[in-house]
Amino acid sequence: MKKSELENKYTFLNKLLEEFYDVQYEYKNAKSNSKKNVESRLSTLINRAENYIESDDTLYNIVTVGKTEYERMISIEESFTLRNFSRDMPEILSRLKNFIENLE
């Protein structure tokens, strides 16, 4: 995969994370009757990131940690939950960015 393709993937995922932060802020300030709707938007953003990463083997192998497929799956499994996404996604982006920076 070319460096420019990886940079585009990084940009896409970074924009998803930024949008997640915006919607998360909305969620924290939402009234109880609209929280379900906002929570649904958060889940949609998480699912988009998960599907995007898991549909591309090269990207998946870059952002996951482990020597075996099982270790890689475990390393990312809990990242795509409402509870962990805001903590784990910056780490995933960091791994991708470091990989891109080390390409010639």
pLDDT band at 86 (very low <50, low <70, confident <90, very high): very high
DSSP string, the chain: --HHHHHHHHHHHHHHHHHHHHHHHHHHHS-TTTHHHHHHHHHHHHHHHHHHHHT-HHHHHHHS--SSHHHHHHHHHGGGSTTTHHHHHHHHHHHHHHHHHT--
Kindly report the pTM of this predicted structure. 0.90
pLDDT band at 77 (very low <50, low <70, confident <90, very high): confident
State yes or no: pLDDT of 95 exceeds 90: yes
Taking the C-alpha atoms of residue 62 and residue 68, their distance in angstroms, rounded to an integer, is 13
Specify the pLDDT at position 69: 87
